[in-house]
Structure 1
Amino acid sequence: MRSLTLAEARERSSLITVTSYAVELDLDQGAEVFGSRTVVRFTCAEPGADSWVDLKARSVETVSLNGESLDPDAVVDGRLTLSGLAADNELVVAATMAYSHDGQGLHRATDPADDLDYVYGHLFLDAAPSVYACFDQPDLKAPYDVTVHAPLDWTVIGNGAATQAGAGTWTLATTKPLATYFMTVCAGPYVSVRDEHDGIPLGVHARASLREPLERHAAELFDVTKRSFDYFHGLFGIRYPFGEYHQVFVPEFNAGAMENPGCVTFRDQYLYRGAATRDELLTRANTVSHEMSHMWFGDIVTMKWWDDLWLNESFAEYMSHRCLVDATDYTDAWVDSSIVRKVWGYGAERSPSTHPVAGVEALDAQSALQNFDGISYAKGAATLRQLIAYVGDDQFIAGVRAYLTDKSYGNGTLADFLGAIETASGKDLEAWSRAWLLTADRDTISVGLEEQGGVIDSAVVRRETPADRPADRPHAFDFAGWTDGRELGRVRATITGPETTLAELEGTPEPAVLVPNASDLTWARVRLSDSTIAALPAQLGQIPDEQARAVVWSSLIDGVHGATASPEAFLDVFDAAWPHETNSSILTRVAAYAEHRVVPYFVPRDRQDAALARLNRAGVGLLERADAGTTESLAAARLVAGTSDDEALLRAWADGKGLPAGLEDDGDFRWIVVRNLASRGLIGVADVDGFRAKDDTLQGGLNALMCRASLPDADAKAWAWEQLTTRQGRSNYEMVHLARGFWVAPDDSLVEDYVPRYFSDVPAMSGWVGEDALSRVVLVAFPRVFTDETARLSAAAIARDDLTPAVHRSLVDADAELREALASRATFGAASGAASGATV
């Protein structure tokens, strides 16, 4: 299907104003298709002109425009031409649509736990026409009236409050004006928990087989929801306007969540079946708050075109963290951001696909999707923190309120937003926005010290700007130093030039560890000094400031990726400091990064077993000391389960014997153990199937696929590759789990023949897999055979001119990680496996 271009969108919006949608969906036609009838009322600024409506149907039964029948076979490339428009128009389209299995459009999934089916709509970015006929662009908003016919035992939830009008028929209350991609319907035998707050009816919903975790987590979900409502009502001065507020945990969801007004959809993995660490609960709370903040920024006011998507995501990213810190018990949310969100964003910034936060004109809808990444989220949020430092918090909030009020139920642009902030603050933002919003890449910040007798003689901050993307960014942040856990000094400064003297540090004791951007207030590459890196194994675990510890870990990860810090140096710090970590986000995320990224990507093959053994020893040590049932105990147990080579221990844990306290009935933990056993060839297909029988659920099936794909034999790899690349109808989640397991192998020889096949077979999947889902498959399935030949094949694939935008972007990003791994191995590969060190 052709993608809507910006020029086409501008032309159509200058001609068409949509006044209403009436959508009737018949979900009682079996498992493959559903009926869709749409009545669109709209005006035309130039009577007699032509336009088109977007429609991606399995078949079109009838079409009429202003009472005149049109040819139902006239849909070409997803568009139905509308000729000779009147000033006021009514279009009626009756069609048969296909359910999807890739997370886009109206997705239908079967829960193997009870063979019950569930449906949900995910219409971002351009999937709305696969559900109903529409003018599919974000600036043609309109109110919706939706009717749904469903099986008698189904419940229906949507943007408007649902009322059962008769047996199997549901009507949804008329909505406020919505962009087409926000319309959604969730239908199936969902189970629910309901509440109310401040006059707003609340509901949380999930599959019937998830009733227990839904009910167990409902109180926490409602608490974060209520606190977020109170916070945003007070901050924005505008009440939530979309009636009821439902949060639906749906199967096989491509993203974390989607901010559909009144009916937010979440991936149902957030309803943790077993034990959950504190940072997992924080992540979920952050997602709840993030999606709610979108009710104002994104839903009440929607970007005019996709190139201002950052207005939605940067704002929600910033506001959710601010809300958690100010209004909930998750006061360490910015620490979590440092070690999770900013690490993700810095990775996007390192890639050749990096782009400015804003101002990248997306010439069509699909190309806009390629900039929906860690820059739009994490960098955008950091940029907003710098904007607040520049104009003042009160002025920023006043500008936000003015923007939301002026553009309510309409659309906004970057210029509109900055204009509101300028008016409220009295500051010209042209130079600031050019440096922070309109220029890609990041500065590097470091501190040079000269000392005499352990006393600082001079301290100079250096700000290095990328030569190929110069910008003059002011940075407001701080520096702090510690020795043996005692903070020796902290300086706050605004840096506006290449070098800035920190006179406040002169005459103070030289710290063992000096951390630029210690409170993580800005967006930059933090370059730690040689002496600081050398001191980290002994010093990092003693630093009481968890935010600064997160910045140090983020800098180390950045250094490993940039080949300025060796993986051995990272592991030395891990050995010494990780077992003493008390912040849950740092503890769990650094362990996961060490196991799943640092070792398999940056440590040469012949040293990976030794590296995993180091991680395992750290996990065992923490597990022995941690209190039962704590985040520390769970994080340690997961690390041991994933890295241990102790067959007796792994088999006992897989069989439910001798488990750490709190994990006795945790099926998700068991799958970590089973995958380790499978990847080592200690169990076979029959054993995996046996564990699958014990966990006959969607998640159990996905984990079984991953474990089968991980088996270290040729037949298992051949089966997994065929299932991934040729079996059409696999869900988005099934494809990703097969891909996650496939490249796990004891040596390259088992899988190296699949490297060239990846570059032909996976891009070809665009013929039957949606762009959003395939972009994830391309990343996860990228070969983990780190050789020059893989790099050559990758470069040749990227140079092709027949790739879809999503496939091309994902290949570029995966190729960048391959080249980072090759550079690190070339730089540090000759060093002894026991050695450590780093350069800056």
Structure 2
Amino acid sequence: MPSLTLAEARARADLLQVTDMEVDLDLDQGAEHFGSVTRLHLRASGDGQTFVDVDPVSLHAIRLDGVELDVALQAERRYPLTLTAGDHVVEVEATMAFSHDGEGLHRATDPADGQDYVYGHLFLDAAPTVFACVDQPDLKAPYTMTVRAPQGWSVIGNGRATLVEGVWHLRRTQPLATYFVSVCAGPYASVTAEHDGIRLGLHGRASLRAELERHAPQMLEVTRASFDYFHSIFGIRYPFDDYDQVFAPEFNAGAMENPGCVVFRDSYLFRGAASRSEVLTRSNTISHEMAHMWFGDLVTMRWWDDLWLNESFAEYMAHRCLVAATDFEDAWVDSTATRKAWGYAAERSPSTHPVAGSPAPDARSALANFDGISYAKGAAVIRQLIAYIGDDAFLAGIRDYLGAHAFGNGELADFLAAMERASGRSLADWAQAWLSTAGVDALAVDRATAQLVRTPPAEQPAQRPHALDVATWSGGSLTSRVELTATDDTTPLPGLDTTAPLVVPNAADLTWATGLLDERSLAALTSELPAVTDAQTRAVVWVGLRDQLALGLVDPRLLVDLAEVALPHESDDSVLASVGMHLTGTVVRSYLPAAEEAPARARMAALGERILADAEPGSSRALHAARLVARTTDDVEGRLRPWADGEGLPQGLEDDADLRWVVLGQLARRGLLDADGVAAAREQDRTMAGNLGALTARAAIPTPEAKAQAWASLTTDRSLSNYELVAVASGFWGPADRSLVEPYVARYFEDVPAMAGHLGDSALARVASIAYPSRFGTPETRALSQACLARDDLDPTVRRAVVDQQSQLEEVVRSRARYGA
């Protein structure tokens, strides 16, 4: 099916305005289909040919200005129209299908009570599967909606919903892009409040009422603080209706910024113990989505190549807000430890792209650029912009940009013009270097000359100015810190203590660069890093080591050695969690030689036991340590079996079902829990999370029969939802006996691409990435991957996933070749 091209969008925008949208949905027609009636109010600037977007199960009627048209003309998600100049009304009656892959109008059943829930996720081009529309971001319109839903359901949408004689009427909205329209319906539990004249709502599945009510005070606190902060700096009050936040089952992304109806994945309603870093992540997401009410919703990008005007700003503003207005003053440390690590990995891939202006010839291709560059790098670039023009000018430019384009669209040139007016400086060269050119510079310190050395990537040269610092440490004491702006390939560092054991470029993580530690600093890490008192510097060092590992510049054994001495002293929750996950999920599992994997995992288990023994009972630190032990221990009788039975668990984890499924998965992976045992555990936890845990554990069972069944479920069972497919993929590749899954390495490159015919792009991208055989980091796997990419019939979403995963596999192959395989 075609995806809207930029040329088509421009031609349609030249001809049409969408002046109003009326949508009536009937969700009370059973579990598979729903009714959709749309009245599109269009204004044509002249006579011309165009089309509306609609993707129905069955198109019952279409009328133009009351005249019946031939429904047989609908094809490939489009209906052609011939319009004359002036105003028109197009009425479309259709039956649509609920989805199970997280796109369109997704319907899920909660096994805890058998209740069904619906949420609308119309990004990126899924709106035509819900209602007829002109589906492009620059043709915004007000929406008036009605929804008929089963008795006992509530309805939440972009406008306040009122029930009148069995039908929910949603208040008319401000102009919205199609991809922001959402309806959530089901027997949701709710918590309501009010702040500064804004009605607030939090909603979750009925079976999660206790979790919703337990977490609501903290989530409302962050919501209120974010509103106050953004009102204080943007100069425009929240411009939409009530502010509802819906925690929906099987949601594809972390969250989606639908105006007045933000949708989150409901795993944020932690049912077990939650660490501080997890609550920080949720708080950051709450603030991020609210920032979108201005960046994205009030002012929307004209086309998908300006995605950064949404995501980079929300990413930056959320961290800024948390630091300034909440208790999470360490939010930038979390950004370094988690978000920037993700972004640097994207930058190393052949699929890297500029922050702004990435080619998006059609809507579908733009989906590939929703990655760590659009988010983490974009936020870092904004910090560099502020260093370049000053914060006062930046905020003045923001207010100018938002005010000039409110309820309309903006693009890169509009934003830069506002910043230039506010600062009085030309940004042409700066924007070319930072926004329009891909790539990451390497920064290193030459001790002999006391200079910072900047090395741009050869394939993407640019003269990027870096505002940053360099810090030196000895015995836990900061011995010098030099702040500078590097505009040349070498920059003097006056006053730098070049004799210090540890020299850290970009220690405060102010810029976007690969910070390379010199050989003396690398040698000193095991003695110096545990004593460094600055969490931001420690996060920078760990993320820098990830980069140097991926580039083949450090032995993976160094990271294992360093973890043993540094993590027992690590006080920052985000650093502890992210380093532990990277070590167990990547370093030990992929980079180390196969013969060293089990001993290294045992060392990680012992490390977890040490931290657990010293941690305050019930603390975040204890939680991370217990999870580390559960992922790595071989102590079946002392840890795995008792914890699976709920015995001897650390304080605060006695009823943690999610930790129990990690343990059960480890027992299954070792062949100590069969399918009947998994089923019995599933009966004790008849929840959505329990279902996913059971699917992962069953896929982990190390028998040929279990692997064959899991692979068939993954690649051919169309009844599985997006979350269920990910759960199966997550458990598949893990047995100690790799021969059980080795035959599936080649099968991945045939069977997973074939899934493109029945799975939406967002779900397909995630499944293709998680199912990729990265555990087999060999030249043979690389050759199979390269052959797959050589196909001319490969789906673009699968292609992007394989490109990125192959890039990481090549990093492993390079490391093993250098440091021993």
Return the TM-score normalized by structure 1: 0.97
Pairing 1:519-530 to 2, within 5 Å after superposition = 519-530=508-519
Pairing 1:201-600 to 2, within 5 Å after superposition = 201-450=199-448, 458-505=449-496, 508=497, 510-600=499-589
Q: Which residue of 2 aligns with 1:640?
A: 629
Q: How many residues align?
A: 819
Is 1:170 paired with 2:161? Answer: no
Is 1:773 paired with 2:771? Answer: no
Tell me the secondary structure at the aligned position of residue 73 of structure 1: helix
From 584, 588, 610, the equivalent of 1:621 is 610
Retained in 2: the 8 A contact 1:23–1:38? yes
Q: Which residue of 2 aligns with 1:750?
A: 740
> In the alignment, residue 530 of structure 2 is paired with which amino acid?
G
The CA distance in 2 between the partners of 1:662 and 1:417, in whole Å, is: 49
The CA distance in 2 between the partners of 1:210 and 1:750, in whole Å, is: 38
Tell me the secondary structure at the aligned position of residue 587 of structure 1: helix
Retained in 2: the 8 A contact 1:275–1:663? yes
Retained in 2: the 8 A contact 1:385–1:522? yes
> In the alignment, residue 522 of structure 2 is paired with which amino acid?
I
The CA distance in 2 between the partners of 1:566 and 1:54, in whole Å, is: 53
Unaligned runs of 5+ in 1: 451-457, 831-840
The CA distance in 1 between the partners of 2:672 and 2:502, in whole Å, is: 44
Q: How big is the alpha-carbon RMSD for the aligned residues of Structure 1 and Structure 2?
A: 0.8
Retained in 2: the 8 A contact 1:488–1:509? no
The CA distance in 2 between the partners of 1:680 and 1:567, in whole Å, is: 25
Distance 1:487 1:522, change over 3 A: same
Tell me the secondary structure at the aligned position of residue 495 of structure 2: helix
Q: CA deviation at 1:811?
A: 0.7
> In the alignment, residue 556 of structure 1 is paired with which amino acid?
L
Unaligned runs of 5+ in 2: none
Q: CA deviation at 1:84?
A: 3.5
Q: CA deviation at 1:504?
A: 2.0
> In the alignment, residue 170 of structure 1 is paired with which amino acid?
W
Q: Which residue of 2 aligns with 1:4?
A: 4
The CA distance in 1 between the partners of 2:673 and 2:151, in whole Å, is: 44
> In the alignment, residue 197 of structure 1 is paired with which amino acid?
H
The CA distance in 2 between the partners of 1:412 and 1:194, in whole Å, is: 34
The CA distance in 2 between the partners of 1:589 and 1:368, in whole Å, is: 29
Pairing 1:689-728 to 2, within 5 Å after superposition = 689-728=679-718
Retained in 2: the 8 A contact 1:605–1:747? no
The CA distance in 1 between the partners of 2:239 and 2:83, in whole Å, is: 37
Q: Which residue of 1 aligns with 2:55?
A: 56
The CA distance in 2 between the partners of 1:787 and 1:590, in whole Å, is: 25
Q: Which residue of 2 aligns with 1:198?
A: 196
Tell me the secondary structure at the aligned position of residue 43 of structure 2: strand
Q: Which residue of 2 aligns with 1:115?
A: 114
The CA distance in 2 between the partners of 1:753 and 1:777, in whole Å, is: 19
Q: CA deviation at 1:605?
A: 1.5
Q: CA deviation at 1:748?
A: 2.5
Q: Which residue of 2 aligns with 1:838?
A: none
Q: CA deviation at 1:755?
A: 1.3
Q: Per-residue CA shift, 1:307-345, capped at 9, x if unaligned?
A: 001110000000000000000000000000001000000
The CA distance in 1 between the partners of 2:171 and 2:714, in whole Å, is: 42
Retained in 2: the 8 A contact 1:37–1:92? yes
Q: Per-residue CA shift, 1:450-480, capped at 9, x if unaligned?
A: 3xxxxxxx41110001111110000000111
The CA distance in 1 between the partners of 2:312 and 2:189, in whole Å, is: 33
> In the alignment, residue 28 of structure 1 is paired with which amino acid?
D
Q: Per-residue CA shift, 1:622-649, capped at 9, x if unaligned?
A: 1111110001100000000110000112
> In the alignment, residue 59 of structure 1 is paired with which amino acid?
S
Larger deviation, residues 678-687 vs 300-309:
678-687
Retained in 1: the 8 A contact 2:482–2:494? no
> In the alignment, residue 312 of structure 2 is paired with which amino acid?
S
Q: Per-residue CA shift, 1:226-253, capped at 9, x if unaligned?
A: 0000000000010001120000000111
The CA distance in 2 between the partners of 1:766 and 1:716, in whole Å, is: 24
From 645, 653, 658, the equivalent of 1:663 is 653
The CA distance in 1 between the partners of 2:554 and 2:766, in whole Å, is: 28
Is 1:680 paired with 2:679? Answer: no
Pairing 1:131-170 to 2, within 5 Å after superposition = 131-167=130-166, 169-170=167-168
From 640, 649, 655, the equivalent of 1:650 is 640
Q: CA deviation at 1:85?
A: 3.4
Q: CA deviation at 1:539?
A: 1.2
The CA distance in 2 between the partners of 1:759 and 1:258, in whole Å, is: 31
Q: Which residue of 2 aligns with 1:823?
A: 814
Q: Per-residue CA shift, 1:18-70, capped at 9, x if unaligned?
A: 000000000000000000000000100113x1110000100011110011101
Q: Per-residue CA shift, 1:64-85, capped at 9, x if unaligned?
A: 0011101122211110001233
Q: CA deviation at 1:729?
A: 2.1
Q: Per-residue CA shift, 1:730-750, capped at 9, x if unaligned?
A: 100011111111111213311
Tell me the secondary structure at the aligned position of residue 202 of structure 2: strand
> In the alignment, residue 590 of structure 2 is paired with which amino acid?
Y
The CA distance in 2 between the partners of 1:118 and 1:367, in whole Å, is: 30
Q: CA deviation at 1:790?
A: 1.2
> In the alignment, residue 150 of structure 2 is paired with which amino acid?
P
Retained in 1: the 8 A contact 2:590–2:776? no
Q: Which residue of 2 aligns with 1:455?
A: none
Retained in 1: the 8 A contact 2:447–2:498? no
Q: CA deviation at 1:787?
A: 2.0
Tell me the secondary structure at the aligned position of residue 480 of structure 1: strand
Tell me the secondary structure at the aligned position of residue 437 of structure 2: coil
> In the alignment, residue 395 of structure 2 is paired with which amino acid?
I
Q: CA deviation at 1:509?
A: 6.8
Larger deviation, residues 84-93 vs 223-232:
84-93
The CA distance in 1 between the partners of 2:794 and 2:243, in whole Å, is: 40
Tell me the secondary structure at the aligned position of residue 503 of structure 1: coil
> In the alignment, residue 326 of structure 2 is paired with which amino acid?
T
Matched residues, percent identical? 56
Larger deviation, residues 76-85 vs 5-14:
76-85
Q: CA deviation at 1:756?
A: 1.5
Pairing 1:596-615 to 2, within 5 Å after superposition = 596-615=585-604
The CA distance in 2 between the partners of 1:564 and 1:131, in whole Å, is: 50
Q: Which residue of 2 aligns with 1:763?
A: 753
Q: Per-residue CA shift, 1:767-795, capped at 9, x if unaligned?
A: 11011110111100001322222111100
The CA distance in 2 between the partners of 1:368 and 1:683, in whole Å, is: 43
The CA distance in 2 between the partners of 1:676 and 1:776, in whole Å, is: 23
Q: Per-residue CA shift, 1:580-629, capped at 9, x if unaligned?
A: 10000001111011111111111122211011011111100011111100
